[in-house]
Structure 1
Amino acid sequence: MLDVSLAAVSALECAAEGVPFARDAGIPWAVGIVFGLLAGSVLVVRRRWPIAVVLVAIAITPAQMGFLMGIVGLYTLAASELPRRIIGSLAGMSMLGTLIVTFVRVRQDMVREDMGFGDWVLPFAAITMSVGATAPPLLLGLYVGQRRRLMESLRERADSLERELQLLAERAEERAEWARGEERTRIAREMHDVVAHRVSLMVVHAAALQAVARKDPEKAVKNAALVGDMGRQALTELREMLGVLRSGGAGVRAERASVPLAAVGVAAAAAASRAAGDGERLAEGPSLSELGELIGQSEAAGMAVDLSVQGEERSYAAEVEQTAFRVVQEALTNVHKHAAGAKTYVRLAHRVSEVAMQVENEPPPEVSSASSARLPSGGNGLVGMKERVAALGGVFVSGPTDAGGFRVSAVIPASS
Structure 2
Amino acid sequence: MTTTGDSHSAAVNGPWWWERRRSAVLDVGLALASAAECGAEGITFAGDTGVPTGVGVAFGVLAGASLVLRRRWPIAVVLISIAITPAQMGIFLTVVGLYTLAASELPRRIIGSLAGMSLVGTLIVTLVRTRQDMESGELGFAEGFIPFIAITTSIGLTAPPILLGLYVGARRRLMESLRERADSLERELQLLAERAEERAEWARNEERTRIAREMHDVVAHRVSLMVVHAAALQAVARKDPEKAVKNAALVGDMGRQALTELREMLGVLRTGESRPAVGGRHGSESDVVPLAAVGFAAAAAASRAVDEDGPCLEEIEELVGQSRAAGMAVDLSVEGESRAYAADVEQTAYRVVQEALTNVHKHAAGAKTYVRLAHRGAEIAMQVENEPPPEAGPGDARLPSGGNGLVGMKERVTALGGVFVSGPTDAGGFRVSAVLPAAA
Q: Smaller-chain TM-score range?
A: 0.7 to 0.9
Contact 1:175 1:272 in 2 (8 A): no
| Cα RMSD for the two superposed structures | 3.3
Distance change (3 Å), C-alpha of 1:212 and 1:258:
farther
Which sits farther off after the overlay, 224-233 or 330-339? 224-233
1:133: Cα distance to partner?
0.5
- For 1:27 and 1:361, the matched residues in 2 are separated by 120
2:69 is matched with: 45
1:149 aligns with 2:169: no
**3-state SS of 1:13 partner:** helix
1:248 shift after superposition: 5.5
| SS of corresponding position for 1:23 | helix
Pair 278,258 (structure 1): closer, same or farther in 2 beyond 3 Å: farther
Which 10-residue stretch deviates more, 267-276 or 304-313?
267-276
CA separation of 1:192/1:53 partners in 2, compared to 1, >3 Å: closer, same or farther? Answer: same
Distance, in Å, in 1 between the alignment partners of 2:242 and 2:383 is 35
Higher relative contact order (CA 8 A, sep 6+): 1
Q: For each residue in 1:207-228, what CA deviation from the matched residue of structure 2 results, as whole angstroms up to 9, or x when unmatched?
A: 2333344455554444344333
Task: Check 1:207–1:99 CA distance in 2 against 1; reply closer, same or farther (3 A cut).
Answer: same
Q: How many residues align?
A: 409
C-alpha contact (below 8 Å) 2:71/2:100 kept by paired residues: yes
Q: Is the CA contact (8 Å cut-off) linking 2:420 and 2:435 kept in structure 1?
A: yes
State the one-letter code of the partner of 2:376: R
Deviation at 1:335, TM superposition (A): 1.6
2:389 matched residue in structure 1: 364
Percent identical pairs in the alignment equals 77
Partner of 2:213: 189
Shift of 1:320: 1.2
Q: Deviations over 1:296-315 (max 9, x none)?
A: 32223222333222221111
> Which residue among 299, 314, 337 is the counterpart of 1:289?
314
Q: Superposition pairs for residues 195-206 of structure 1, below 5 Å? A: 195-206=219-230
CA distance in structure 2 between the partners assigned to 1:393 and 1:122 by the alignment: 92
Which of 361, 369, 375 lines up with 1:350 in the alignment?
A: 375
Find 2:132's aligned residue among 93, 96, 108.
Answer: 108
TM-score under structure 2 normalisation? 0.81
Q: Which residue number in structure 1 is paired with residue 159 of structure 2?
A: 135
- Report the counterpart of residue 20 of structure 2 in structure 1: none
Q: Cα offset for 1:375?
A: 0.4
For residues 222-265 of structure 1, the C-alpha deviation after alignment (integer angstroms, 9 at most, x for no partner) is 434433333343334334445566666859x99xx95799x9xx
Please list every run of at least 4 consecutive aligned residues from structure 1 whose deviation after the TM superposition is greater than 6 angstroms: 266-275
Unpaired runs of at least 5, structure 1: none
Q: Which moved more, 1:137-146 or 1:44-53?
A: 137-146
Equivalent of residue 119 in structure 1, options 109, 121, 143: 143
**For 1:352, what is the secondary structure of its paired residue?**
coil
1:154/1:260 Cα in 2 relative to 1: closer, same or farther (>3 Å)? farther
2:353 corresponds, among 303, 319, 328, to 328
Q: What residue is the counterpart of 2:5 in the other structure?
A: none
Tell me what 1:340 maps to: 365
Counterpart residue number, 2:45? 21
Separation in structure 2 between the aligned mates of residue 81 and residue 316 of structure 1, nearest angstrom: 68
Aligned with 2:109 (options 72, 77, 85): 85
Q: Which residue of 1 aligns with 2:430?
A: 406
Relative distance call for 1:243 and 1:15 in structure 2 (3 A) is farther
Q: Which residue number in structure 1 is paired with residue 10 of structure 2?
A: none
Question: Which sits farther off after the overlay, 284-293 or 234-243?
Answer: 234-243
CA spacing shift, 1:44–1:230, aligned 2, 3 Å: same
Kept in 2: contact 1:4–1:44 (CA 8 A): yes
Distance 2:200 2:299 in 1: 8
SS of residue matched to 2:377: coil
Q: Distance in 2 between matches of 1:159 and 1:311?
A: 63
Task: Say which SS state the counterpart of residue 148 (structure 2) adopts.
Answer: helix
CA contact (8 A) 1:248 1:275 kept: yes
Residue 376 of structure 1 aligns with which residue? 400
CA contact (8 A) 2:273 2:298 kept: no
Output aligned runs, 1:157-236, within 5 Å. Answer: 157-217=181-241, 219-236=243-260
Instruction: Report the equivalent of 2:121.
Output: 97
Q: 2:274, 2:295 within 8 Å by CA — same for their partners in 1?
A: no
1:5 to 20, 29, 37: 29
- Going from structure 1 to structure 2, the CA distance change for 1:50 and 1:338 (only over 3 Å counts) comes to same
2:82 is aligned with 1:69: no
Gaps of 5+ in 2: 1-24, 279-283
